[in-house]
């Protein structure tokens, strides 16, 4: 029976329903971007309050859209972490309330596991094993994925996450929050070869990343009174440096693991230049490349519903567990016991 997924880890309130036979039945999302824009970043307390204000309407809405009654559901999945604790608790509480009232299993979902399984919602999807590059606002991870719940961390960022680096650099360039997509848009009009930025940590072996130096490089290069072209060229040069770095490390991870498939997920996976570069390499080096559709790169309910369903389908969901956690290393997910 279909699983309802609830996502409230940050600034998106989202719900979706996934069915093993019929696929994704419905998904709804409310983004708080406008609420946080005037502060230049997510304000946790405002996020929690807004989740409370929206969530019931969204749960009703997704059931209507799917043409289902609550009694038709087979489980309630929710994002248990990592994320903003107050925000997570809203989704967890609603999920636990529904699960109790409907006498359904409650399925805690790891937010990054959901991001990495998001390509499974597409018609053209990977098969296990594959390498996943997870690039979001809070994480930069290279993961060997052998199956649902079987993850080995290959590399991660030692400082800023890629999305964070995009957002901070966008701020330096005077772009509105959230800066990542804005910076990418500006970069389209820029010359990415004008400024020479480093490709951090590619000159030595290893699969870890470091992006905070790039942001500093942009800051020190930024002219006193930059004109529009300077800014566009800086944005493009920054984007080239980041996407080159990611592409190089992906290639190394594929080589190291011997896997022939690469999955790219998380908000920065929406970046067109990154997609373009990886597609080029995939053609050249003969690996298969998978992305979630753009809307399922950033936070959404569909990936939570799917991850919850997949965990249950494999009998690997810690049943009845209600918890939230701001920090939760993906590697600890290896056994369901560790997650419970």
| Shortest CB 71 distance to ligand ATP, Å | 32
Q: Which residues contact 302 (CB under 8 A, 6 or more apart)?
A: 5, 14, 16, 18, 24, 27, 118, 121, 296
| Shortest CB 299 distance to Mg ion, Å | 5
Q: Which residues contact 238 (CB under 8 A, 6 or more apart)?
A: 169, 183, 187, 195, 197, 214, 218
298 binds ligand ATP (CB under 6 A): yes
Choosing among ligand ATP, Mg ion, Fe ion, none, which partner's interface includes residue 271 (Cβ < 5 to 8 Å by kind)? Answer: ligand ATP
Q: Is 72 annotated as a binding residue?
A: no
Which CB, 221 or 243, lies closer to ligand ATP? 243
Distance CA 95, CA 308 (A): 12
CA 125 to chain centre: 17
Q: Is 162 annotated as a binding residue?
A: no
292 binds ligand ATP (CB under 6 A): no
Applying the rule CB under 6 A, the residues between 121 and 140 that interact with ligand ATP are: 136-139
**Cβ atoms of 134 and 143 closer than 8 Å:** yes
**Cβ atoms of 306 and 110 closer than 8 Å:** no
Which CB, 50 or 299, lies closer to Fe ion? 299
86 binds ligand ATP (CB under 6 A): no
163 binds ligand ATP (CB under 6 A): yes
Of residues 7, 11, 167, 244, which one binds Mg ion by CB under 5 A?
Answer: 11
Stretch that binds ligand ATP, among 178-186, 209-217, 305-313, 321-329 (CB under 6 A): 178-186
Q: Is 180 annotated as a binding residue?
A: yes
Applying the rule CB under 5 A, the residues between 271 and 310 that interact with Mg ion are: 299
Q: How far is CA 137 from CA 78, 97, 134, 141, 160, in A?
A: 19, 29, 10, 11, 9
Q: Is 135 annotated as a binding residue?
A: yes
Of residues 266, 292, 308, 318, which one binds ligand ATP by CB under 6 A?
Answer: 266
Q: Which residues contact 115 (CB under 8 A, 6 or more apart)?
A: 134, 136, 265, 266, 303
| Shortest CB 33 distance to Mg ion, Å | 8
Of residues 30, 151, 166, 209, which one binds ligand ATP by CB under 6 A?
Answer: 166
Distance CA 127, CA 129 (A): 6
| Shortest CB 115 distance to Fe ion, Å | 6
**Cβ atoms of 137 and 10 closer than 8 Å:** yes
Of residues 184, 247, 254, 278, which one binds ligand ATP by CB under 6 A?
Answer: 184
Applying CB under 5 A, the residues found at the interface with Fe ion are 136, 299
10 binds ligand ATP (CB under 6 A): yes
| Shortest CB 32 distance to Mg ion, Å | 8
Which residue ranges make up the site for Mg ion (CB under 5 A)? 10-12, 299
Which residue ranges make up the site for ligand ATP (CB under 6 A)? 9-10, 83, 111, 115, 136-139, 163, 166-167, 178-181, 184, 266-268, 270-271, 298-299
């Amino acid at each position: 029976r279909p699983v309802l997924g609830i996502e409230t880890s940050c600034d998106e309130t989202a719900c979706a329903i996934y069915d093993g036979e019929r696929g994704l039945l419905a998904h709804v999302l409310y983004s708080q971007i406008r609420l946080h824009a005037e502060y230049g970043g997510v304000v946790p307390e405002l996020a929690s309050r807004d989740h409370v204000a929206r969530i019931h309407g969204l749960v009703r809405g997704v059931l209507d859209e799917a043409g289902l009654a609550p009694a038709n559901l087979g489980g309630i999945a929710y994002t248990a972490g990592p994320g903003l604790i107050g925000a997570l608790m809203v989704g967890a509480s609603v999920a636990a309330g529904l699960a109790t009232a409907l006498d359904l299993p409650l399925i805690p979902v790891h937010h990054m596991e959901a991001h990495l399984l998001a390509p499974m919602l597409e018609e053209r999807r990977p098969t296990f094993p594959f390498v996943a590059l997870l690039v979001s606002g809070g994480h930069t991870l290279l993961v060997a994925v052998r199956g649902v719940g079987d993850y080995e961390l290959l590399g991660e960022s030692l400082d800023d996450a890629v999305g964070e680096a995009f957002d901070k650099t966008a701020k330096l360039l005077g772009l509105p929050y959230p800066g990542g997509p804005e910076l990418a848009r500006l970069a389209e009009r820029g010359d990415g070869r004008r400024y020479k930025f480093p490709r951090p940590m590619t000159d030595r072996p290893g699969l870890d990343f470091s992006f905070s130096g790039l942001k500093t490089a942009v800051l020190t290069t930024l002219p006193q009174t930059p004109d529009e072209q300077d800014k566009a060229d800086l944005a493009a040069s920054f984007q080239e440096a980041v996407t080159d770095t990611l592409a190089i490390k992906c290639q190394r991870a594929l080589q190291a693991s011997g896997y022939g498939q690469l999955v790219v997920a998380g908000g920065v996976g929406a970046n067109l230049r990154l997609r373009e570069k990886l597609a080029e390499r995939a053609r050249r080096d003969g690996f298969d490349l998978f992305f979630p559709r753009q809307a399922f790169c950033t936070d959404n309910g569909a990936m939570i519903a799917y991850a919850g369903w997949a965990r249950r389908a494999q009998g690997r969901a810690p049943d009845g567990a209600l918890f939230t956690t701001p920090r939760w290393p993906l590697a600890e997910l290896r056994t369901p016991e560790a997650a419970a």
